[in-house]
Amino acid sequence: MKPYLLQMLKELALLGALNERIELSSKELAIQLGTSQQTASRYLLELDKLGMVTRELGVKKQMIRITEQGAEVLRDEYAQYQRIFEFPQRVYFNGRIVSGMGEGRYYTEREGYVNQFKDKLGFKPYPGTLNVEIKQIDKNKIRILRKIDAIEIQPFETEDRTFGGVKCYPATINNYECIMVLPARGHYSTVLEFISPVCLRDKLHLKDGDSVEVVVSPPGRGDGDEE
């Protein structure tokens, strides 16, 4: 549908024409749209010809109502906005296994983290993380993940240093359940890290360069049906 006709359909819906007939003159409609009266009349006639609205002409005004066909167009538009603004139940990544620098093992053995992992995730992680490198373009998905609710591991201090907070998300790698961990603060990396009670490399028989499918389910959103 032409953008200007879709805009008129939205305006009519906002005026109540989706649920009942509304009485409207071409002049009133033109003011609502910010166009000339002639243009508003032409747009309305186009919608009528397309079967998007019904009209009953009066002396000075007309009764207008959006048809089921027009309502379906608006539902499609609404669904598109939902996909833009509402976070999906699952986020998918395709990546490959890479080796880290050993930092994952260091952090997963810190008592301040281990105690919180056991309390909030229900397990003590195997020392180390499994690293999955994703495409550069998929970093946008990480930005979105960081903005929504996660299982929060709180920062803590030792005599030597301060350890930052961590965001945890239920995930699967090749359909095997695990947890994706993200620093609560810091830059966006193309390497994702995962923890589990077991060694994921051994459990899934993975080596560097192997391709994997990762599915991340934000807490509380992974139980619904996929579209």
CATH number of the structural domain spanning residue 43 = 1.10.10.10
Higher per-residue pLDDT: 194 or 222: 194
225 inside domain: no
Q: How many whole angstroms separate alpha carbon 89 and alpha carbon 224?
A: 7
**Do residues 168 and 136 touch, judged by C-beta distance below 8 A?**
no
132 occurs within a structural domain: yes
Average pLDDT over every residue of 195-221: 92
Same domain, 122 and 212: yes
pLDDT at 120: 96
Do both 78 and 189 map to the same domain?
Answer: no
Under the banding of pLDDT at 50, 70 and 90, the label for residue 227 is: very low
Please identify, among 63, 85, 107, the residue that sits at the C-terminal boundary of a domain: 85
In a domain, 160, yes or no: yes
CA atoms of 155 and 153, how far apart (whole Å): 7
* 102, 199: one domain: yes
pLDDT at 143: 79
Task: Report the range of poorest mean pLDDT among 42-46, 123-127, 183-187.
Answer: 183-187
Backbone angles phi, psi at 132, to 5 degrees: -125, 120
pLDDT tens for 55-100 read 998 878 899 999 999 999 999 888 778 767 766 678 889 999 999 8
Could you give the CA distance from residue 88 to residue 50 in angstroms, rounded to a whole number? Answer: 33
Residue length of the chain: 227
Name the packing angle between helices 37-49 and 3-14 (round to 10°): 90
In the chain, which residue ranges form alpha helices assigned H by DSSP?
A: 3-14, 26-33, 37-49, 68-85, 103-108, 111-120, 139-147, 200-203
Mean pLDDT, range 203-216, rounded to an integer: 96
Residues 110 and 188 in one domain: yes
DSSP state letter for 136: G
Kindly state the percentage of the chain with pLDDT values over 90. Answer: 69
Terminal-to-terminal C-alpha distance of the chain: 24
Q: What is the arithmetic mean of pLDDT over 107-125? A: 96
If phi over 0 gives left and psi between -120 and 50 gives alpha, with beta otherwise, what is residue 102? left
Per the structure, the complete domain to which residue 38 belongs is given by 3-85
For 173-203, write each residue's pLDDT tens digit.
999 999 999 998 876 689 999 999 999 999 9
Last residue of a domain, one of 52, 67, 85: 85
Q: How far apart are CA 142 and CA 205, in angstroms?
A: 26
Let me know how many helices (H) and strands (E) the chain has, helices first.
Answer: 8, 12
> Are 67 and 107 in a shared domain?
no
Domain count, the chain: 2
Residue 139 clears pLDDT 90, i.e. is over it: no
Q: How far is Cα 116 from Cα 105, in angstroms, rounded to an integer?
A: 16
- Residue 185 in any domain: the answer is yes
Tell whether 32 and 102 lie within a shared domain.
no
Based on the domain organization, do 76 and 99 belong to the same domain? no
Statement to judge: residues 49 and 64 lie in one domain: yes
Does 124 lie in the same domain as 71?
no
Give yes or no: residues 127 and 57 share one domain.
no
Q: What pLDDT digit, counting tens, does each position of 149-175 carry?
A: 899 999 999 998 999 999 999 999 999
For 42, the 3-state DSSP assignment is helix
Q: Indicate if 105 and 167 belong to the same structural domain.
A: yes
Q: Does the pLDDT of residue 12 top 70, yes or no?
A: yes
pLDDT for position 141 = 82
Final residue in a domain of this structure, among 85, 103, 133: 85
Question: What average pLDDT is seen over the chain?
Answer: 90
For residue 39, pLDDT beyond 80: yes
**Could you read off the pLDDT of 93-105 as tens digits, one per residue?**
999 999 988 889 9
**Cα separation of 172 and 223, whole Å?**
13
Same domain assignment for residues 74 and 98: no
